[in-house]
Structure 1
């Protein structure tokens, strides 16, 4: 594919992006069903759900790398790159602001759009490397947080790196390590594929692929709008079943994140696994029974914090 031919979009990339968006929407729909109490699936600890999350997010980011290589091969239209980057940055800011007001305890400060924006800039540094080097670097980025982490990166301003020891509470957390790794893998694989002639690039999926390709061409809009649409549908279904929409939007908090955070911090402070399991189970049960969820907020009153300390003293016995 010569740099002067500028063939435009490859249908197969839009098709793959559309498939990834469909998988993402189904995954988010599962979370919405649980949030509104329609199902009781183990979305946090279930092996299948964990694998689905990693595969879906990884496919998106690999396609970012593939798209960056396609842009590079086609002559590097900087205006097109800047326009796309500005849209992603705007979308990321919109997600952060919206979740800050809706779920301040778990707002999205570095989700997949934030990661895509940063990766779109950092990826420029790797465009001229040999694909085998990029491939090795991508695998290294994925492996680093598995092999090494440090408390130096637990500071709030460094959580975006993904190299800290404490998992932050966020509804969508895709830090640079390991998630820049799939971008580099997509960049390397895209270089091998595109510079070999992009065989299969015109695969479009026929009539069934048409709506997927259309979705892939409007991926950012789909990402920003799909959750409000899904939530609206489930609210209507709940109302049809006689449920109060206000109660649906304010369900009891999910104790799972608190249990995981408590277990991790307890073991890091030297507690045994069984001891920490008993302590954290007691804390979660007590918080639920006494409706102490507001005490976990940073702006909790002194009275609520005192009640939480009293509960911790009881659970420590």
Structure 2
């Protein structure tokens, strides 16, 4: 569309983006409660939690596809696209650097901001495809890592693809496959929405939706700041309850996550399901009881590694 005819922001898009961000913040707050041992929820293995994570991340990335489509039909303002891309890339780098120092064993190397940055470039190739084609491609991208993976993609430089056989340790991992799929679905659904005359585009939620629309308009700032704010609040609560903040910031690994990872690796090495379950349960319980989590670090002291090997020998009997 000519510049003079470009419409303003659609309130419903800001509203939906704000809702997705709020849902993401609620999920992250649940994760923080678990990390600081305020609760004992099974975020890693609980069916409801897993479904919530996929729905929240998927809806946010679908809105990325829809936003890219609106940018296209409004005339492709490349300057605005470049400014937005630079902000997202900067945010992704900031998240990687910060988590590298705070949680080096599980730092975020390809989280949702990294995925958005890649989608903002790769999505340009799919803007003019028929919506039915993007729908099929989107479903295929989602399905591929479910039906096929290869150890060729286990190399550190290829983990961003999501097609490796061993899931990496990271607090936020949104690789190309399957997470580019929702972006393509957003392109397809957005094209059909435009052809239908954008029904509901003026929906704003009224005064109640104003905070959500504000969040939707400042999504990157909200994303970068919400976790430090939530963590700060929980640290203050913990200190008020008499807990040591240093201990809160460096708890041992989540036993549930360790058990799942051990089970996966054991079965990949050829162990039977029951055998691996017994071995991994024994190891995780013993490591937890003896506070041997530091022995799992790559730079662990030799004596800690020896104790870990002794436990492995006992649990293998």
Q: What's the TM-score once normalised by structure 2's chain length?
A: 0.96
Question: How much has 1:24 moved relative to structure 2?
Answer: 0.7
Would the aligned equivalents of 2:252 and 2:293 in 1 still touch at CA under 8 Å? no
Name the residue aligned to 1:202: 202
Q: Unpaired runs of 5+ in structure 1?
A: none
Report the aligned-residue RMSD.
1.3
Name the residue aligned to 2:13: 13
1:312 aligns to 2:312 (yes or no) = yes
1:242 aligns to 2:242 (yes or no) = yes
Name the residue aligned to 1:90: 90
Per-residue Cα deviation, 1:97-124 (whole angstroms, up to 9, x for no partner): 1111111111111111110100111000
Would the aligned equivalents of 2:263 and 2:276 in 1 still touch at CA under 8 Å? yes
Question: How much has 1:249 moved relative to structure 2?
Answer: 1.8
Aligned residues: 316
Name the residue aligned to 1:73: 73
Would the aligned equivalents of 1:3 and 1:73 in 2 still touch at CA under 8 Å? no
- The list of structure 1 runs, each at least 4 consecutive aligned residues, that deviate by more than 3 angstroms after superposition, is none
Mapped partners of 1:293, 1:70: distance in 2: 49
Name the residue aligned to 1:115: 115
Q: What's the TM-score once normalised by structure 1's chain length?
A: 0.96
Mapped partners of 1:290, 1:49: distance in 2: 30
Per-residue Cα deviation, 1:141-163 (whole angstroms, up to 9, x for no partner): 00001111111111111111111
Would the aligned equivalents of 1:292 and 1:304 in 2 still touch at CA under 8 Å? yes
Per-residue Cα deviation, 1:165-213 (whole angstroms, up to 9, x for no partner): 1111110111110000000000111111124332221211100011100
Mapped partners of 2:302, 2:46: distance in 1: 37
Mapped partners of 1:185, 1:202: distance in 2: 22
Q: Which moved more, 1:300-309 or 1:266-275?
A: 300-309
Per-residue Cα deviation, 1:66-111 (whole angstroms, up to 9, x for no partner): 0000000000000100100010111111111111111111111111
Name the residue aligned to 1:28: 28
Structure-2 change in CA distance of 1:219 and 1:62 (3 Å): same
Would the aligned equivalents of 1:162 and 1:175 in 2 still touch at CA under 8 Å? yes
Question: How much has 1:36 moved relative to structure 2?
Answer: 1.8
Per-residue Cα deviation, 1:241-268 (whole angstroms, up to 9, x for no partner): 2222222222232112221111011111
Mapped partners of 1:309, 1:36: distance in 2: 29
Q: Determine helix, strand or coil for the equivalent of 2:286.
A: helix
Name the residue aligned to 1:184: 184
Name the residue aligned to 2:156: 156
Q: Determine helix, strand or coil for the equivalent of 2:298.
A: coil
Mapped partners of 2:215, 2:37: distance in 1: 29
Question: How much has 1:275 moved relative to structure 2?
Answer: 0.4
Mapped partners of 1:35, 1:149: distance in 2: 30
Question: How much has 1:131 moved relative to structure 2?
Answer: 0.8
Q: Determine helix, strand or coil for the equivalent of 1:168.
A: coil
Question: How much has 1:292 moved relative to structure 2?
Answer: 2.0
Question: How much has 1:295 moved relative to structure 2?
Answer: 1.8
Name the residue aligned to 1:99: 99
